[in-house]
Structure 1
């Protein structure tokens, strides 16, 4: 199913879940979209089974949790190996997220938590051993998210 195939109810459900999935029940969504709670539950189950909703994740403030070395590591992977290397990078201890970029030199973005400088060095070395070339490393101060407005109606 493509985004073009989502109806207004699907899009609104996605918007509300992106805004606050943890404290949003099917009844809460139903009240916002003028549908029954069972309809909302069925829609959410379908969106999950079709892979449109891929999961629910905690948004952790790593600094508040005592981990001040939350780092973005910008890497380059050979295009034919990018997907495989990105998946392997996600398995490196300390890595919390990996994004593949469609094209260009800096085509794998790795977010990692290091307990100290030596730990960040280890993570960088393990990424290098996989075949990723580390281009840049930056400490992340904070992340700001919001639901995709294209789902809001």
Structure 2
């Protein structure tokens, strides 16, 4: 059972904010859903307090501002230290995100940006210096994201649909 049940309004708020948190207003969400803006603002506040919404992030074109090397560094961390090493990796200049995987080799994916090969070499040395084993590095051409479609109230969620809700307990 989830720690926090979401009703249709909570889901719609999350869906809209995932699409564009910067310019989507509570008034727009309220008008689209048929509730008052204060209701939406209160829901957003509660979702933040409950840590369902943990922040909003700006999508940056690093290449446009001179950081043409956008890379994923696949690392292995000892399981007992994995979480702390993930947090430590965020302190390395040039690292912009870290994804912690639950099992296996390459259990930390570090996303980093740099202007030159020297930047990436330094980031690699710094990651090794905190105790990570670097397994592989891959340059990224583009990254695409979208809102999680199950929060969209217009999404077909009935049992006859070919696509089932992956979070449903009905399977």
Please state which band the TM-score falls in when normalised by the shorter chain. Answer: over 0.9
Structure 2 equivalent of residue 134 of structure 1: 134
Q: Which runs of 4+ in 1 moved over 2 A?
A: 1-4
RMSD, matched Cα:
1.3
Query: For 1:82, what is the secondary structure of its paired residue?
Result: helix
Task: Return the TM-score normalized by structure 1.
Answer: 0.96
Structure 1: segments with no counterpart, 5+ residues: none
Structure 1 partner of 2:158 = none
Q: Which has the larger radius of gyration?
A: 2
TM-score if structure 2 supplies the norm length?
Answer: 0.86
Structure 2 alignment gaps of length 5 or more: 154-171
**Secondary structure of residue in 2 paired with 1:98:** strand
Aligned length: 153
| 2:43 counterpart residue number | 43
Aligned mates of 1:48, 1:127 — CA distance in 2: 32
Instruction: Write out aligned runs for 1:93-104 (5 A).
Output: 93-104=93-104
How far, CA to CA, are the matches of 1:31 and 1:13 in structure 2?
A: 12
Tell me by how many angstroms 1:36 deviates: 0.6
Q: Separation in 2 of the partners of 1:121 and 1:114? A: 10
Match of 1:82 in 2: 82
Q: 2:94–2:112: 8 Å Cα contact kept in structure 1?
A: yes
Contact 2:66 2:115 in 1 (8 A): no
Q: Which has the higher helix share?
A: 1
Structure 2 partner of 1:66:
66
Aligned mates of 1:20, 1:66 — CA distance in 2: 25
